[in-house]
């Protein structure tokens, strides 16, 4: 068992720290999840706004054309149609780029979906800086914030394609509107088919205080992340372990409702927190965590994310480094927060 991999029931990817780690776009997991749902539940309906290939809805459309709706470039109409279906015993999934849905149709989501607690699942693709060359107009870095402030909405940001498939399938077990957040590019596959996934329940991916070959050592920092950027958090934790700095890495895939009990428990154990997200540091995962701790267990925190700026065009391998989301930035944040304990 690799150092730090403590939860045996999670069955994380065996080559999580290897250079040959496999990669796949999260949208592929979403597409597979839709196919499985289509086969199991005849009430599942998928609606696209002229981006069915890019968001992998076309797999569902090809197999279940009678349950697929193409609205064209009309995200507001897409949300309104879904709202009606969602209060009529159907389970609609609406799918587009996150800058368009929930970006362009936020008011329709608010008034027709969330206000009515309609059972709609909103898939926002190309989120974060993963739309690289398309630049700021297509890089959604505010989507979690605008959805988190909306009553009745639940939010899940899967860390890889396997978790994306599980989140898509699990979303119909939770009544009401849910926002599923997906990156565009191929990203590292961190989990395995047997990895536990339950909406609302964060789980530990790495813990340097655990392992059969080492004595118990109290971790110094809790690193909380969501989405594919968790890979950088894991790489940082491994390097910090080599420097004798103990960490716990928590996958907080569900951002709303956040797993406050687990966050409080592990913060008490570590005494300091670093949050890692491919989103503006305002209003996202870091904001949600800080709200939990401010109320229940104040602790020193550092925030890794976009520093309230519009991002620019570039290669996806380079943009996270440019905006301070890389491994070195996470390591620096961990060392900085330790000094504040």
Tell me the mean pLDDT in the region 159-178.
Answer: 98
The closest alpha carbon to 138, from 329, 319, 325, 277, belongs to 319
* 15 and 159 co-located in one domain: no
* 48 and 179 co-located in one domain: yes
Q: Using pLDDT thresholds of 50, 70 and 90, give the confidence band for residue 10.
A: low
Residue 184 has pLDDT above 90, yes or no: yes
Tell me the mean pLDDT in the region 321-326.
Answer: 96
The CATH number of the domain where 58 resides is what? 3.40.50.970
**Strand 301-306 versus strand 273-280 pairing type:** parallel
Higher-confidence position of 132 and 109:
109
pLDDT of residue 8: 46
Separation of alpha carbons 167 and 163, rounded Å? 6
Residue 209 has pLDDT above 90, yes or no: no
Residue 1 has pLDDT above 50, yes or no: no
Residue where a domain terminates, one of 188, 206, 226: 188
Spot the catalytic one: 14, 53, 70, 75. 75
- Per the CB < 8 A criterion, the answer to whether 49 and 100 are in contact is yes
The answer to whether position 213 is within a domain reads: yes
pLDDT of residue 301: 98
pLDDT of residue 212: 41
* 110 and 210 co-located in one domain: no
Tell me the mean pLDDT in the region 267-294.
Answer: 98
pLDDT of residue 6: 44
pLDDT digits (tens, 9 = 90+) for 29-58: 999 999 999 999 999 999 999 999 999 999
312 is catalytic: no
Residue where a domain terminates, one of 142, 170, 188: 188
Residue 213 has pLDDT above 50, yes or no: no
* 47 and 87 co-located in one domain: yes
pLDDT of residue 11: 57
* 223 and 301 co-located in one domain: yes
Residue where a domain terminates, one of 150, 165, 188: 188
Residue 231 has pLDDT above 90, yes or no: yes
pLDDT of residue 318: 92
The closest alpha carbon to 156, from 141, 173, 145, 144, belongs to 144
Residue 5 has pLDDT above 50, yes or no: no
pLDDT of residue 20: 80
- Per the CB < 8 A criterion, the answer to whether 166 and 158 are in contact is yes
The closest alpha carbon to 161, from 143, 180, 122, 188, belongs to 188
Length of the chain: 341
When mean pLDDT is compared across 64-78, 176-190, 208-222, 277-291, the lowest value belongs to 208-222
| Number of domains present in the structure of the chain | 2
The CATH number of the domain where 263 resides is what? 3.40.50.920
Separation of alpha carbons 302 and 315, rounded Å? 26
pLDDT of residue 210: 60
- Give percent of the chain above pLDDT 90: 88
The answer to whether position 227 is within a domain reads: yes
Range of the domain at 73: 23-188
Alpha-carbon 153 to chain mean position: 15
């Amino acid at each position: 068992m690799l150092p730090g991999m403590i939860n045996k029931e999670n069955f994380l990817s065996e080559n999580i720290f290897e250079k040959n780690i496999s990669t796949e776009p999260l949208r592929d997991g979403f597409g597979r999840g839709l196919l499985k749902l289509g086969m199991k539940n005849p009430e599942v309906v998928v609606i696209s706004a002229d981006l069915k290939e890019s968001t992998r809805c076309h797999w569902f459309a090809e197999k279940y054309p009678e349950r697929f709706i193409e609205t064209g470039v009309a995200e507001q109409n897409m949300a309104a149609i879904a709202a009606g279906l969602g209060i009529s015993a159907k389970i609609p999934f609406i799918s587009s780029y996150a800058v368009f849905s929930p970006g362009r149709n936020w008011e329709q989501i608010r008034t027709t979906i969330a206000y009515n607690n309609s059972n709609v699942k909103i898939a926002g693709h190309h989120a974060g800086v993963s739309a690289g060359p398309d630049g700021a107009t297509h890089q959604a870095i505010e989507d979690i914030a605008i959805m988190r402030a909306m009553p009745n909405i639940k939010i899940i940001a899967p860390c890889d394609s396997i978790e994306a498939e599980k989140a898509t399938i699990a979303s119909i077990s939770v009544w009401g509107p849910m926002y599923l957040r997906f990156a565009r590019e191929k990203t590292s596959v961190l989990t395995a088919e047997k990895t536990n996934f339950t909406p609302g329940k964060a789980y530990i991916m790495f813990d340097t205080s655990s392992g059969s070959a080492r004595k118990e050592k109290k971790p110094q920092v809790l690193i909380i992340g969501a989405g594919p950027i968790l890979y950088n958090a894991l790489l940082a934790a491994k390097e910090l372990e080599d420097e004798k700095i103990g960490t716990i890495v928590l996958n907080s895939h569900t951002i709303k409702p956040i797993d406050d009990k687990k966050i409080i428990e592990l913060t008490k154990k570590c005494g300091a927190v670093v949050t890692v997200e491919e989103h503006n540091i305002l209003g996202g995962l870091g904001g949600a965590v800080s709200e939990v701790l401010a109320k229940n267990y104040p602790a020193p925190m550092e925030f890794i994310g976009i520093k309230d700026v519009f991002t620019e065009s570039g290669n996806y391998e380079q943009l996270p480094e440019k905006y301070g989301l890389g491994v070195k930035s996470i390591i620096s944040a961990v060392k900085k927060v330790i000094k504040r304990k």
